[in-house]
Every structure is written in structure tokens, then in C-alpha cells.
Amino acid sequence: MAQAIRLAKQGLRTTHPNPRVGCVLVKDGQVIGSGFHKVAGEGHAEVNALANAAADVTGSTAYVTLEPCSHQGKTPPCADALIKAGVACVVFGMQDPNPEVAGRGLAKLRDAGIEVIGPVLETECRALNPGFIKRMEEGLPFVRVKLAMSLDGRTAMESGESQWITGPEARLDVQRLRAQSSAIVTGIGSVIMDDPSMTVRIDAQDQLCKPDQVRQPLRVIMDTALSVPPEAKILYPTNQVCVFFDEEEAEPEHVALLTQKGVALRPLPLGEDGRLDLVEAMGQLADEGINEVLVETGAELAGAFLLAGLVDELVVYMAPKLLGSEARPLLRLPIENMAEAVNLDLVDVRKIGADLKLVYVPNYD
Ligand code: AOF
Ligand code: ZN
């Protein structure tokens, strides 16, 4: 199963909207085939493992990180393929949370007389697909907020100048985070201040992420009054971008101009706080197959995501710099006393170049 998990990780950046899945076939103590799911619409892990098996798979054991599917999606059911191939035993990592499957794959295998064992290494198998699982279970994507700050918790100078706080290694790490995300979300403030492209740019020399593995994520702008300049870099290419906005506040001429350029404009209701309803926006993205969202934005919108209870993970890159007390704070959170403080659990720390990468999970209880 550990080997199947390693294989699944090879699909980290390409399987969207599908989950990352790996499969290993073992017979007489030998690995006779292995595979992983690479791209939606193409072979699932089990089918790829069966296809490249070096020996007769009859009587073998299949180790799969996710329950084999039982439904006809873009590809035929893997449970049927395993039955037809004469596999004797299936060891699975976790049940498929997709309601189309949800145990029916395992039932199909058992009904065909196959021994079914699992879940095995379930925590590790679930960790492969936080976004797919959350989307299937809660109708929301897994939201990761990336922040870059100085030791004194500042993200930009008072003027807005912010290039660069962290070093090249940390910035490359952010590119990899983008590459594994289905969508990147930013706010109009960041678009106007920095004119970012928000695309994935991976160097051909990168050892961890190969340029041919990169799928460009959807770029999403939260822009209540629809004030994104038509020449903003983030809008191009226009087929991978969408803008959430409030129809009442937008200038009709601007709506027409952006529409004519091919930008997908998405009217959104306002929440109780009079701002775009982030929960509704994330729900809509999940309905469209968005598994993992990376929020790369300023203090205001990042704070709003946190207050809305939408954040699953905070990734903070901390640079060994002091930007001083006039510089901009990490998050805008209207907190007045200690009892209102947002508590976080630190789940990972590592050094990246000269910076620290800190991963936190908000503790909403
Ligand atoms: C598996 N093995 O490797 C994957 C599975 O449209 P399709 O045919 O690609 O089906 C997508 C669904 O199949 C996906 O939502 C999930 O439930 C399951 N993914 N299942 O047995 C795999 N990628
Ligand atoms: Zn399948």
C-alpha cells in the first residue's frame, strides 16, 4: 500500500477533478504490475496496473489506495476490470466518498467472490486527496491560504511594496502549491496592487515538479464592484479565469467590455456582512469539480476566508526580515480580546532556503 501511495503522488498535479490513486498488483510475493491515475478521462490506477502487468494476473492481490469504482464515468468500472482479470484479493486504502461509488465497488468485488481487505493505511490514503474528499463529503473545496510574512508578521510595506519578502526557494515552493491546486483565488486589492499573473511557472530544472506535469489552475478573482482593469495580467488567457462580483455595483459598460474579451463573469449574492458570499462562491466552485483552492491574497480577503470558517490550512512562509511597525499586517481580523483569538494547530515546520514554512490548521471549535 505504501508503494501504491507513492505511485498515486505522481498524479498530484494532473488528476483534477479526479482523485489521486495508485495501484500495485502482487503475485507470489512479487510485484507484477503497478499504475496510477494520471489524467481524468484516461485510465484509472487499476486499469493502468492491469495493462502493464508483466505476468498473468489471475490469482493476484491488488493494493489500491481508493476503493475501485463501480460506476460508468468517463471510463468503465474498475471493479469489473479486476473481476474480469481474475484478481483474487483486493486491499483498499479508503472507501470512495463519491456517492456514485460509496461502497458499491467493494460490494461488487465481494459478490464476485473476491476477498476484500481494508481500509489499510487509511490516514495516509485520505491525505492524498483532501480536496476530492471534502468536495464529495461537504460540497466545498479544501481551502489552503498562503501567506508570506516577515518575522514581525508584516506582508508589505505601508506603500504596498512587497517584492520580495521571501526568498527564491520559498517562491518556487508556492509555484508547486499552485500546480497542485484546482483553482487560485485572489482579491481585487491584490490584482490592482501587484498585477500578478497567478499562473504556474515551473523551471525546467525543477527536480520535484516537471513542467509536463503542470496543469494551469483556474484563476478566480473576488471583485465586488467589478473594478478589475481589462488589461490586468491575471485575465489572460481568458479561458482559465472567472470573476465573482456583485451585479448591482458593477458598471454595465465594464460588464460588457470584459464579457466581450471572453472573461467569465459570475454574479454572486452578498453575505450578511455586505461582502461577496465566500461560502456560496466556494460551493459553486466545488460543484464544478474544484478540489483544492489556493488563496493568495491580501490581509482583508484572507481574513474574510478565515472568519467564514472556510480555511482548512494556512501555509505561512516566514522570512528572516523585520519590516517595521508601519508595514502591513498579515490578516485583517476584527478581534478585541483574547477570548476571540483564532486558535491554530501547527502541523508542519520546515526550512526552505532562508525562510521557514509553517503549516497551520485552524481550530474552529
Ligand atoms: C478508481 N481508480 O484511479 C480513480 C477513481 O469519470 P471517471 O470514469 O474517470 O470516474 C471518476 C470517478 O472515479 C471519481 O469521481 C472517483 O469516484 C473514481 N476515481 N476510481 O477506482 C482511480 N481515479
Ligand atoms: Zn475506477
Reported as half-sphere exposure (CB side, CA atoms, 13 A), residue 353 has a value of 15
Is 46 one of the annotated active-site residues of the chain? yes
Residue 37 CA: nearest ligand 1 atom is 3
Question: Which ligand is closest in space to the CA of residue 62?
Answer: 1
| C-alpha distances in Å from residue 20, one per residue of 69, 209, 253, 284 | 13, 16, 43, 22
The pLDDT, as a whole number, for residue 330 is: 87
Domain 131-362 sits in CATH at 3.40.430.10
The pLDDT, as a whole number, for residue 37 is: 97
The pLDDT, as a whole number, for residue 203 is: 75
ipTM of the complex in this document: 0.89
What HEC string does 221-261 produce? EECCCCCCCCCCHHHCCHHHEEEEECCCCCCHHHHHHHHHC
Q: Choose which residue among 7, 9, 18 to substitute to test ligand 1 binding: the one with the highest number of ligand atoms within 8 A of its C-beta.
A: 18
| C-alpha distances in Å from residue 321, one per residue of 154, 170, 327 | 9, 14, 12
**115-117: strand order across its sheet:** 30-36, 22-27, 61-64, 89-92, 115-117
pLDDT along the chain (365 residues), means of 10: 98 96 97 96 96 95 97 92 97 97 96 97 98 98 97 90 91 94 96 93 76 87 97 95 97 96 96 92 98 94 93 98 90 88 95 98 88
Task: List the chain domain ranges.
Answer: 1-128, 131-362
40 three-class SS: coil
Beta bridge partners of 91: 63, 117
C-alpha cell at 213: 506535469
The pLDDT, as a whole number, for residue 209 is: 74
Pocket-forming residues, ligand 1, beta carbon under 6 Å:
18-19, 21, 37, 40, 44-46, 66, 68-69, 73-75, 78, 96, 98, 101
Regarding the domain delimited by 1-128, which CATH topology (the fold level of the hierarchy) does it fall under? Answer: Cytidine Deaminase; domain 2 (3.40.140)
- Burial code (b: 16+ CB inside 10 Å, e: under 16) for 302-317 equals bbbbbbbebbbbbbbb
Say which of 42, 46, 253, 272 is annotated catalytic.
46
Among candidates 363, 353, 362, which has minimal Cα distance to 317? Answer: 353
C-alpha cell at 200: 504556474
Three-point CA angle 337, 343, 344, nearest 5°? 150
State in Å: Cα 65 to ligand 1 middle: 12
The pLDDT, as a whole number, for residue 214 is: 82
Would you give the end-to-end CA distance of the chain in angstroms?
Answer: 34
The pLDDT, as a whole number, for residue 281 is: 98
